[in-house]
Amino acid sequence: MRMALTLAKRQLGMTAPNPSVGCLIVKDGVIVGRAATADTGRPHAETQALKIAGKDAKGATAYVTLEPCCHQGKTPPCTQALINAGVARVVIAVKDTDPRMQGKSISLLKKAGIAVTTGILEKEAHTLNEGFFSTIEKLRPFVTLKFATSLDGKIATRTGESKWITGETSRAYAHQLRANHDAIMVGIGTVLADNPTLTCRLPGMEHRSPVRVVADSKGRLPKDSALARTAKETPVWLLSTTQKLPSSAITLLHTQSKAGHVDLTHALALLAERGITRLLVEGGSTLAAALLKEGLVDSIVHFQAGITIGGDGLSAIGSIAAEHMRQTKRFHLASTRRLGEDTVTTYRLAN
């Protein structure tokens, strides 16, 4: 099952709106078929692995990271494919919470005389596809807030200079994060200050750049910005309360207004409706604060460098206007690792 999870992990950011699933077909201790969900979500992992296994699938065991689908969509249901192939056993890491499922696949497999085992590495499998589960259970993507700071929590000097706080290894890992997400989001302030491209620039992974999303309530995205100029190559979506578009290549998502700004709850729902399951937020401080205040952040990835900038530097998170500790959001430590001279720490929202 760990091998199946590894296969699925490699496809994160490439399968939306479908989950990234890994499948291994094993017969007499030998792997006869293996696959992960293909780009754009089709074909599914199970049908690919069964095709590779061929006749060897009969009497074999299928290891699947997510309960196989049983509903007829754009591709035939994987549950029926497993039954038709004659597998003897199916091992499932985590059940699918899609309302169309409700354990139907497991019932169909058992009815066909196939042994079914569930809950193997269930926590790991759920974490792998937390974006998929979030769109079903919360009707919004799983939101990860990412920022890089000095030791004293600053993202730039008082003049706005921020290149580079962290080292090359950290920046490469940040690009890997981009590749593993369906979309990356920034506020218009970050665009106006830094003119970012927001693409994945790791050698050989340039094609894995996510959809680029800008929260821009008043439609201030410049026509000559890097995002507008490259919108034909890599999609740009504008979350705005206006109808202004700097380029016909940009997609406008008209959002509700909240206190004169983009209603972020509505905005995230719009992203989920368009198939975004995993959203990486890279700033700036105003957007970060707004998302945290609304309780819309599920995870934080904090890169920290061994430098100090001082109290007049720019903070990673803007004002949340918290007067009492009960108004704060608590995250628990999930992992920490060293990247060159920096550290990267991941926090997850405490239940």
Position 74 scores a pLDDT of: 62
Position 73 scores a pLDDT of: 64
Is-contact 344 176, C-beta < 8 A? no
Interacting residues of 4 by C-beta distance below 8 A, sequence separation 6+: 22, 23, 24, 34, 63, 64, 65, 93
Q: Which domains does the chain have, with CATH numbers?
A: 2-128 (3.40.140.10), 132-349 (3.40.430.10)
DSSP 3-state helix, strand, coil percentages of the chain (rounded to 5)?
30, 25, 45
How far apart CA 170 and CA 21 sit, in angstroms, is 28
Residue among 82, 83, 89, 79 nearest 116 (CA)? 89
Rounded mean pLDDT, 236-248: 91
| Torsion angle, alpha carbons of 125, 347, 264, 269, to 10 | 0
Predicted structure pTM score? 0.93
pLDDT in tens, 192-235: 999 999 999 888 888 899 999 999 999 999 999 999 999 999 99
Residue among 221, 205, 297, 287 nearest 253 (CA)? 221
Rounded mean pLDDT, 43-48: 96
* Coil, strand or helix at 132: helix
Of 41 and 100, more confident: 41
Position 284 scores a pLDDT of: 86
pLDDT in tens, 258-309: 998 999 999 999 999 999 999 999 988 999 999 999 999 999 999 999 999 9
Q: Tell me the percentage of the chain whose pLDDT exceeds 90.
A: 83
State yes or no: is 137 an active-site residue. no
Between β-strands 61-66 and 89-94, what pairing exists: parallel, antiparallel or unpaired? parallel
Is-contact 44 78, C-beta < 8 A? yes
How many CB atoms within 10 Å of residue 248?
8
